[in-house]
Structure 1
């Protein structure tokens, strides 16, 4: 993952890349929080063990925005 502080060779920050990184971080945190709220227990919490309502992993997705594709 590129950091928003990384600069291309010409020394300028690419605005679209910076926005993509901010959007990606926001969406990831929002979805993790929503999952925690829905399941009613934190990640790695023993309350979810054998509950039948578990965190069963994840998979990569891409999101198309007006600033370009946000890749996972």
Structure 2
């Protein structure tokens, strides 16, 4: 099974100019295991990409990963 926190870091860190400011917080809601990604404001544009294509690709990878969670996984960018 995949550690989603580590998977997100491995994908996002190369995109960031300030990877040391990257922070991932996990919390649980009724239907989802949510991962809140916080980054330096200058890196957010790189993570989201033009018209959101980069973040959509990241979400597709994260959502497709096999996990032990009984709930669905959600990735939020703050």
TM-score by length of structure 2 reads 0.32
More helix by share: 2
Structure with greater contact order relative to length (CA < 8 Å, sep ≥ 6): 2
Name the structure where strand makes up a greater proportion of residues: 2
> Which structure has the larger Rg?
1
What TM-score do the two structures reach when normalised by structure 1? Answer: 0.34
